[in-house]
Amino acid sequence: MVIRSKKIAQMAENLAAHEMGKSHSLWADARRRFFKNKAAVISLIVLTLIVAFAFLAPYFTKWSNEEIDWAILGSVAEDGKPSFARGHFFGADPLGRDLFARVAQGTQISLMVGFVGAFIAVIVGTLYGAIAGYFGGRIDNIMMRIVDILMSIPYMFVLILLLVVFGRSIFMLFVGLGLISWLDMSRIVRGQTMVLKNKEFVEAAIAGGSTKFTIIVRHIIPNLLGIVIVYASLLVPAMILTESFISFLGLGVQEPNTSWGALISEGAGTVLYGTLWQLLFPLAFFVAGLFSFFFIGDGLRDALDPKDR
Amino acid sequence: MKSFTKILTAALIGTTFLVAPVLAAKVPAGTNLAADQTFTYRVLDEHSSVDPQIVEDVSGSEIVRDIFEGLLNQDALGNLIPGVATSWEASNGNLTYTFKLRKEAKWSNGDPVTANDFVYAWQRLADPETASAYAWYMEIMSLENAKEIIAGEKEPSELGVSAPDDYTLVVNLTAPLPYFAAMTTHASTFPSPQKVIEEFGAEWTKPGNIVSNGAYVLTEHVPNERSVRERNPMYWNDAETVITKVTALVINDEDAALIRYLAGELDRTEVPAGQYPRLKKENPNEAISFPRLCSYYYSFNVSDSGPEAFKDERVRQALSYALDRNVVTEQVLKGGQFPAYTFTPGTTANFTVPDVPIGQMTQAERDAKAKDLMEAAGYNKDNPLKFELLYNTSEEHKKVATVAAQMWKQKLGVEATLANQEWKVFLEVRGKQDFDLARGGWCGDYNEASTFLDLMTTPSGYNDGKYSNAELDKLMTDAKTAADPSANYTRVEEIMAEEMPIIPVYHYTGVYMMNESIIGSWPVKNVEQNWYSRDLYKVEK
Amino acid sequence: MFKFILKRLGIAIPTLLILIVFSFTLMHSAPGGPFTSERPLPPQVLANIEAKYGLDQPFYKQVTNYIVGIVTKGDFGPSFKYKDRTVNDIIAQGFPVTLKYGIWSFIIAVSVGISLGTVAAIKHNSITDYFAVGFSIGAQVLPNFVMAPILVIIFTLWLGWLPGGGWNGGQWQYLIMPVIALSTSYMASIARIMRSSMLEVLNSNYIRTAKAKGLSNRQIIFKHALKPALLPVITYLGPAFVGMITGSVVIDMYFSTGGIGQMFVNSALNRDYSVIMGITILIGVLTIAFNLVVDILYAWIDPKIRY
């Protein structure tokens, strides 16, 4: 649930020394470096497989994620084991629903939560940080004090409050997760923006009569891309972890929809009753997914960090 | 608040009651008692309070019933037996009740329990200063001036209860309540120690400060973890009390509680839904299931804000017929619950389950009928019925709702969306008729059919679906004065089976893992589950 | 430095005010109030209760009364649900519990994490290193709500070594499983951070110089490498601490320890306004204080940083 922002901040410093926007060779270089990183490449493959599973699995099973197999409903512990004969490749959940289909569906939701949450955080954080950094002075001062204040708020508690107050919905979850995570991003982006705005190409744009907004969107933000990508890649697993915690509290997505967190917490609760598969299959996807994100994130950072070149 | 509107048991209608010389259900002669007489049980949540006039939840009332004693108690079957009062008498056409108190009753500090302690407690309950959530209980007990005191128009001292001498309590009512005596088993009416309350204020219920008159005193309380009550040597019947120490452990997670039970840390815990058969097989002497006075149902919102489709009786019937109760009770919950085709549970006193058609058919017949009804109402695969099924967050409700929605989908092509909300939101939404179909659960306040059926009358505050039927209202009104109201209840259930304002799903059971040495003394036949630790005992295995 | 601390404390006050007003508003706008129950209360009874708890007053007045009560008397008000207890009582009961297993978890996560990371870095590419890396990656993503039931099944049900929950005044038997469940993933994170930063430091020029000068390994590590390598770990301590407080929700729920984590969730569900506010403020203060401590620590270790 925690991202090591200082490391990224350091990378931002290194990046600021370079000018990335239009230099294609830099990107090509980064790509080459990334694909040299074995762990990152394997992770990318694993992640691709997981995504493929999430969207293709429904075509390989006759069960949907909500259909109950009435024949085994009363005896899931005995007859709900993973079985090709019955068509339950991953076994059945406590209500006789097909776990294969449910894991696929839960994977979709968890990935969506991760990506959309990270997307919101990155957009808000980048814009906020770029504006504060570019305008500087009093605006910057006020905006950054606000960030300081928000950083001191115990967010998980506020998120629980939000979900309790406004009812559980996936929308609220996105808003809540997004709101938690943009603060670090905005600080890093602000710092880099302050360096960038004194560069020649920005001064050229100002001389050319571009508006401030255009300069931020056209010239500053594209140059922040490297840092944004790295940060986002680390945010995704953090989001997924947070969602799993929320699901454990019973504040996650609505039935019959599910998520990795919801499946794992259900499986962990019934582990005593001899239905181990209900925990292991979703947990395997969860762990594999998170590993992949971590390694890809690390790989991207190493690849995009110009320091060692 | 019209819950207690009905005679409790025929036996109570007489005018004078004297103590039966022998107390009910004591340790039978020849019982080999175990050396260890401590009882440890799991509670889901921290209790709200142990102040008799403040307590408002089940787990708190369990403690209050142990550490305090009211005028009357219930025995293992739910019958009235003497508590602090030894006898009571109704006069003036049931408008005056006189209780004689036992002289040997003492508070845990040695002071005698007097009628004034009851007068103080009852005035305190009604007093707006106390702001008790149960102040209304004085009102439904019909005590003189209760309503005015609650409204702040009269002084608490004007409440219709007085103590002519230390061992006589006289109560004046504004309505002739034949069942008034039975209402004094409720924890809100238990005495409280004026001296102590005035000395410690809000702190008086803390262990160390608290003085109580029951068989136990509260000796330890760690909020959200445990509360311990131990024997009160001053209790008048301490000699016949067996259990020495009772511990309630707060354990939120029922799976965690079960593990701790299996590890021997608990004497009693709830069995998680669906686990009863397996546990029964592995521990045949410890898993028990017994009927409770509770019903689980779904109510249709038939008010103006409800969906148009639910105003059609055929749609309501179809949904009810297609819901296979046996699957819910035997394959999902598996705790011996009873499939429900009527609202009132079959175990209710003086109630015979009527032969409503839905109860007589096989499920195949019901399904066929449901399809016809749905078709006739104009809904089919091309024009599917769509609605939202609302329930409060809980593993068990989720399971039942999921299964129900799937049954309707597969049998009738109905698209029911599941919507769960946490408790307070759920109550608010349901109370405002902001739903299509909502889960409901109701436990009887007393052992008589009207505690359930009154819910379906037009003025009832708990009639969430706003169902209204003039004949049903009249039947229920008449039942209050009828010599034998059973015919009315039968007819009401028939009307409900016909018009189906709710879908009764099942009648609850208490499903527990319980230390086998204590099962023998557990009041399984008390359907209200008012249990007293002083009646329990552990036998040697 | 002193000025910096003053400035941070200056920010703390508006932060807390914002937190109070925000949570207060959020809570009061939630559907259902503290006295919403399955059997609705008669209006007169409800009015009496609301009058007693001041809920009949206009909203702004409730907020100001609340803040004034805290500032002048340190009084967080009565609990609406547990009526014979005040919020101060509830926090005084639950917070020491959370603090006790929290601090133990923190100590263990930090000490074991740093040692493991250091050892892995020194024995780079050895079996020890692979084991440490494997452990730290695996433990990092294993949610504690999965670990908790597994621990209980093994240590309580199968082996019968430890009680399956409860607190009992915090005796060590009751402390072990909560601390393991709470600390493992942070321990793993710290080990990972420590390992990579230690590796970086060990490969740096001045360490090479030190080696060339013939200093012993032990001297190099303890005298020269440890302090700079700790920097990234320290920045992680703030988030780790907050994460552990949050994690206490799971610990309390599963081990029935009676800490404030579960109290918070239950109070939110019960709409026990005053308890929610009390706990939120407490956690807010802790978060601010801990972030400050971490920043000071950072400045102390890294003299390059000036505030």
DSSP letter (8 states) at residue C269: H
Structure tokens at B111: 């002071």
Note whether B124 and B130 are within 8 A (CB): yes
B135 contact partners, CB below 8 Å, separation of at least 6: B125, B126, B127, B128, B150, C45, C48
Chain B within 8 Å of A166 (Cβ-Cβ)? no
Q: In angstroms, rounded to a whole number, what is the distance separating the alpha carbons of residues A87 and A91?
A: 8
Question: What was the pLDDT predicted at C268?
Answer: 83
> Which of B400, B516, B510, B42 minimizes the C-alpha distance to B254?
B42
* Residues in C touching A250 (Cβ below 8 Å): none
* The pLDDT of residue C305: 52
> How high is the pLDDT of residue B11?
35
Chain B residue with Cα closest to C54: B131
Asked if the Cβ–Cβ distance from C246 to A156 is below 8 Å, we say yes
- Grade residue A6 by pLDDT with cuts at 50, 70 and 90: low
Nearest residue in A to B330, CA atom: A74
Nearest CA in chain B to C81: B48
Please give the distance of CA A182 from its chain centroid, rounded to a whole number: 12
- The pLDDT of residue B365 is 94
Is C36 close to B251, i.e. CB distance below 8 A?
A: no
End-to-end alpha-carbon separation of chain B, Å?
47
> Which of A265, A279, A287 minimises the CB distance to C141?
A287
Residue positions counted in chain A? 309
**pLDDT given for residue B212 in this prediction:** 94
Contact A291 C150 (CB under 8 A): no
- The span from the CA of B368 to the CA of B318, in Å, is 9
Q: What pLDDT, on a 0 to 100 scale, did the predictor assign at position B13? A: 39
Beta strand B386-392 with B437-443: parallel, antiparallel or unpaired?
parallel
Nearest-Cα distance to chain C for B134, in Å, is 8
Cβ-based neighbours of B492, under 8 Å, separated by 6 or more: B453, B456, B472, B475, B476
In this prediction the ipTM stands at 0.85
- The alpha-carbon radius of gyration of chain C (Å, integer) is 24
Residue at B435: amino acid letter: F
Query: B124: burial class by Cβ within 10 Å (0-12, 13-18, 19+)?
Result: buried
Closest-CA residue of B relative to A66 is: B406
Cβ separation C84–B225 shorter than 8 A: no
Higher pLDDT, A87 or B194: B194
CB atoms within 10 A of CB C89: 18
The span from the CA of B513 to the CA of A250, in Å, is 25
Provide the residue type at C296 as one letter.
I
Which residue among A152, A269, A286 sits closest to C15, beta carbon to beta carbon? A152
CB contact under 8 A, C146 and A279: yes
The closest CB to that of B421, out of A74, A167, A256, belongs to A167
Tokens (6 digits) for C275: 């308890």
Look at residue B127 in the predicted model and tell me its pLDDT: 93
Contact B332 A255 (CB under 8 A): no
pLDDT averages per 10-residue partition of chain C, 307 residues: 80 83 82 80 84 85 86 84 85 90 92 91 85 83 87 90 87 92 90 86 81 79 82 80 81 89 85 87 84 79 58
Task: Give the pLDDT score at A67.
Answer: 86
pLDDT of residue A137: 83
Query: Is the pLDDT assigned to residue A56 strictly greater than 60?
Result: yes
Q: How far apart are CA C196 and CA A294, in angstroms?
A: 14
Domains delineated in chain B: 2-248+515-535 (3.90.76.10), 291-510 (3.10.105.10)
Query: Looking at chain C, which residue has its C-alpha nearest residue A293?
Result: C141
Report the predicted TM-score, pTM, of the whole model to 2 decimal places. 0.86
Q: How would you classify the pairing of strands B415-421 and B386-392?
A: parallel
Contacts of B451 (CB under 8 A, 6+ apart): B3, B6, B293, B444, B445
Residues of chain B neighbouring C53 (CB-CB closer than 8 A): 131
Instruction: Chain A: give the shortest CA distance to residue C122, in Å.
Output: 21
Task: Give the phi and the psi of residue B106 in degrees, each rounded to 5.
Answer: -130, 155
Please indicate if any CB of chain C lies within 8 Å of the CB of A46. Answer: no
**pLDDT per position in chain B (541 positions), as tens?**
333 333 333 333 334 444 444 444 478 878 888 989 999 999 988 898 999 999 888 889 999 999 999 999 998 888 899 999 999 999 988 899 999 999 999 999 999 999 999 999 999 999 999 888 888 889 888 899 999 999 999 999 999 999 999 999 999 999 888 888 888 999 999 999 999 999 998 889 999 999 999 999 999 998 888 999 999 999 999 988 999 999 999 998 888 999 999 999 999 999 998 899 999 999 999 999 999 999 999 999 999 999 999 999 999 999 999 999 999 999 999 999 999 999 999 988 888 889 899 999 999 999 999 999 999 999 988 889 999 999 988 888 999 999 999 999 999 999 999 988 888 888 888 988 999 999 999 988 778 888 899 889 998 888 899 999 999 999 998 887 777 888 999 999 999 999 999 999 999 999 999 999 999 899 988 888 899 999 999 998 7
